[in-house]
Amino acid sequence: MNIFLYKIMAPWYNGAMLHKSISSLKKRRDDLLEQLHRIPNLMRGVVYEKTHKCGRKSCACASGGPRHPTRQLTVTLCGRTQTRYVRVEEMEDVERLIEAYHDLWRIIEELTEVNLDLLRGGHPREEEETR
């Protein structure tokens, strides 16, 4: 919408709708649904990097030297927290799965925002414009 038209419609116009016409909201919704359908395999969880002593008396870690890094995957399911070690070679896959989970939530949040705006609707005149 150009600024001149906005000034004419200003008394009725919802400020939040200024940059969000119904048609652009619908396009955004369709884009997000498209992204949603492309979400790959996923899982919830957090990977913590920790260090530990290996237990060998001859190892430098036993006498204050650098400890050994490990990665621990933690996830709570049905109120029960589950933990397991992640091997170095598994790390990339696990990170990808968790990243997809966060992508899914980002899409859900944006979709919710867009659908909320669509429910509020625009000014009736604007709907006529985009029909």
- Which residue ranges make up the site for Zn ion (CB under 5 A)? 54, 59, 61
Q: Which residue lies nearer to Zn ion by CB, 5 or 54?
A: 54
Residue 122 contacts residue 21 (beta carbons within 8 Å): yes
Burial of 126 (0-12, 13-18, 19+ CB in 10 A): buried
Q: How far is the CB of 56 from Zn ion (least distance, A)?
A: 6
Sign of CA dihedral 64, 66, 71, 76: positive
DSSP 8-state symbol, 43: -
Q: Which residue lies nearer to Zn ion by CB, 39 or 54?
A: 54
Q: Which residue lies nearer to Zn ion by CB, 67 or 96?
A: 67
Q: How far is the CB of 51 from Zn ion (least distance, A)?
A: 10
Q: How far is the CB of 60 from Zn ion (least distance, A)?
A: 6
